[in-house]
Chains A and B, each alone.
Chain A
Amino acid sequence: GQQVMQIPQYQHVQEGEDFTTYCNSSTTLSNIQWYKQRPGGHPVFLIQLVKSGEVKKQKRLTFQFGEAKKNSSLHITATQTTDVGTYFCAGLTSGTYKYIFGTGTRLKVLA
């Protein structure tokens, strides 16, 4: 079945350092979404990418969708302690209603 993997699984950074998580799907995706889950909380939607090669920015966050629509990345510039949490990508395949979530990257930011 469809699998969505993320690397790294964990990342500890000093406050102010950059952070990147990568998402890879075993199948071509129609679109990809990114969510953030704070410790003890539920996933909250961040953004959706639809087009091949698409790049979107939200303040310090930059999201990319690969040309082949099988991979994506989230980059955070100058991390802050408020960025702590687990970041998930979720891939959607054309013709289905299923959000298949990646394995997640847990980010810790050291002050």
Chain B
Amino acid sequence: SQTIHQWPATLVQPVGSPLSLECTVEGTSNPNLYWYRQAAGRGLQLLFYSVGIGQISSEVPQNLSASRPQDRQFILSSKKLLLSDSGFYLCAWSVIQHTEAFFGQGTRLTVV
């Protein structure tokens, strides 16, 4: 069966520090991968999505970047965190376009 792993679960980082969040999917090949951010009590904002290795589409200009170094690995990074980067970051995958998305457990990031 397919599973998605996202870590860490919680993270407290100082302003200006770098960030690296990792997401891996098991049990499937060539998944579509997504990074979402959810501010407290708010909706899900699509940040990046990828339909293949090395292919990244950015939805919102910001100081975050994403990479897909392997088929089932999706990484969210920042060189210097801002206070406004705080939030709940969710990785998700789908088999093909227009099928259900499966979400990871999320990373709760607090920038202090």
Bits for A50-75, please: 1 = Cβ < 8 Å to B, else 0: 00000000000000000000000000
> Is the Cβ of B59 less than 8 Å from the Cβ of A48?
no
Between-chain CB contacts (< 8 Å), 16 pairs: A30-B98, A35-B101, A42-B106, A43-B44, A45-B101, A45-B102, A88-B43, A88-B44, A92-B97, A97-B49, A98-B46, A98-B57, A101-B43, A101-B44, A101-B46, A104-B43
> Is B110 an interface residue when CB atoms closer than 8 A count as contact?
no
> Is A28 an interface residue when CB atoms closer than 8 A count as contact?
no
With A30-B98, A97-B32 as contacts: A43 and B46 at CB distance below 8 Å = no
Q: Chain A interface (Cβ within 8 Å of chain B)? A: 6, 30-31, 33, 35, 41-45, 48, 88, 90, 92, 96-104, 106
* Chain A interface, >50% SS class: strand
> Is the Cβ of A43 less than 8 Å from the Cβ of B103?
yes
> Is the Cβ of A42 less than 8 Å from the Cβ of B43?
no
In angstroms, Cα B59 to Cα A103, docked, is 17
Bits for B71-112, please: 1 = Cβ < 8 Å to A, else 0: 000000000000000000010101001111111111000000
Q: Chain B interface (Cβ within 8 Å of chain A)? A: 32, 34, 36, 41-46, 49, 51, 57, 59, 90, 92, 94, 97-106
Report the nearest B residue to A94, measured CB to CB: B98
> Is the Cβ of A99 less than 8 Å from the Cβ of B34?
yes
Residues of B within 8 A of A98 (CB): 46, 49, 57, 59
Residues of B within 8 A of A106 (CB): 41
Min Cβ gap B28→A in Å is: 15
With A42-B105, A43-B90 as contacts: A33 and B100 at CB distance below 8 Å = yes
Residues of A within 8 A of B106 (CB): 42
